[in-house]
Amino acid sequence: MQRRLTYQLLFISTIAATTLYHPGCTSATTPEGYSSTLVAVGRLGEIDISNSLSHHLKDVANEQHWLSVQKMEGLSDMYVQSNVWAPGGSTGWHSHPGHSLIIVTAGTVTGYEGHDPDCKPHVYKTGMAFVDPGGDHMHILRNEGTVEAKTIAVQFIPADAARRIDVADPGNCHF
């Protein structure tokens, strides 16, 4: 895990150094019709959590098995963000160094992934939740509806790392 954190920090440092060395040469996409508000942030120490509810593992039809594992070495920052998209709004292409748990609280957001050559839309409506795995997962979230869309995100980021990293359009989606 220490090696992974080292690689993540090296990756972030390389991006920052490249941007500072070549200002104006990055082609990051900018958010439009989108705002993000910090609700709360807290610092976590090392975590090693494990849950289980698989007393008698049942088959898919019965659906009673559950396992949750969360392990973070070193300090982490936990953010709670409130996000709002106007109709037609977009986050712009970006990534996060850690993972995010997201709940759609109003409207509909559509996600696209930078590594998907087919640019398949992932549609999330009010009451639905999804996970952004973070790391090298590049994505964009858009409001392709006619009403305002809102989410609440809980993000786990290595301590003092940038919460969001703007990236260039990967060219796989033609909006």
Three-class DSSP category at 5:
helix
Of 35, 165, 152, the closest CA to residue 89 belongs to 35
Alpha-carbon torsion angle 87, 92, 98, 100, nearest 10: 10
- Model-level pTM? 0.78
Q: Count how many residues are written for the chain.
A: 175
What does the block give as tokens for 171?
Answer: 């060219």
Average pLDDT, the chain: 86
Residue-wise pLDDT for 16-52, tens only, equals 444 443 343 447 889 999 999 999 999 999 999 988 8
Residue-wise pLDDT for 114-127, tens only, equals 999 999 999 999 99
Report the distance separating Cα 2 and Cα 58, nearest Å: 36
Report the distance separating Cα 112 and Cα 150, nearest Å: 17
108 Cα distance to chain centroid? 16
The whole-number pLDDT of residue 65 equals 75
Q: Residue type at 153?
A: A
Structural domains for the chain? 2-166 (2.60.120.10)
Report the distance separating Cα 34 and Cα 143, nearest Å: 9
Beta partners for residue 130, in sequence order: 102
pLDDT higher than 80, residue 13: no
Q: What is the residue whose two structure tokens read 């500072």?
A: 20
